[in-house]
Amino acid sequence: MSFVCVTFVKADGSEVSVETETGVTVLQLAQEQGIDIEGACEGNMACSTCHVILDKDHFNKLCPASEEEEEMLDLAAGLKATSRLGCQLMVDESLNGARLTLPKITKNILGL
Ligand code: FES
């Protein structure tokens, strides 16, 4: 198992850098660290409240989003070209050094 370092940029602009083992999702990691990210559907790709915005370099290294992820992202508030769902992104070496920005607002289509 290897370690990677990622930096979360919170909605208020403050940053939290985390060194972690691989094998968890970005959503799980953020929640473990007390980062304010909702994840209302608990990773079932039904809410878009786990929306994160990656820096371009790291975004380009990732496998493309699935069609289902793209459809859910289309419903996310503050969508950017480098947006992904945190529940669908596994933390692995490709994210080492990544900056993951939380949008200033989220939209929960589940209404939870
Ligand atoms: Fe709901 Fe990711 S937690 S889509």
11 Cβ below 6 A of ligand 1 = no
Chunked in runs of 10, what are the mean pLDDT values of the chain (112 residues)? 92 95 96 94 93 97 95 92 97 97 78 54
How high is the pLDDT of residue 100?
98
41 Cβ below 6 A of ligand 1 = yes
How high is the pLDDT of residue 83?
97
Whether residue 93 contacts residue 2, with contact meaning beta carbons closer than 8 Å, is answered with: yes
| CA distance between the termini of the chain | 36
25 Cβ below 6 A of ligand 1 = no
The CA distance from 57 to 109, in Å, is 30
Question: Count of CB atoms within 10 A of residue 73's CB?
Answer: 18
Q: Pick the atom of ligand 1 nearest to 110's CA.
A: 1
Tokens of 20: 């972690």
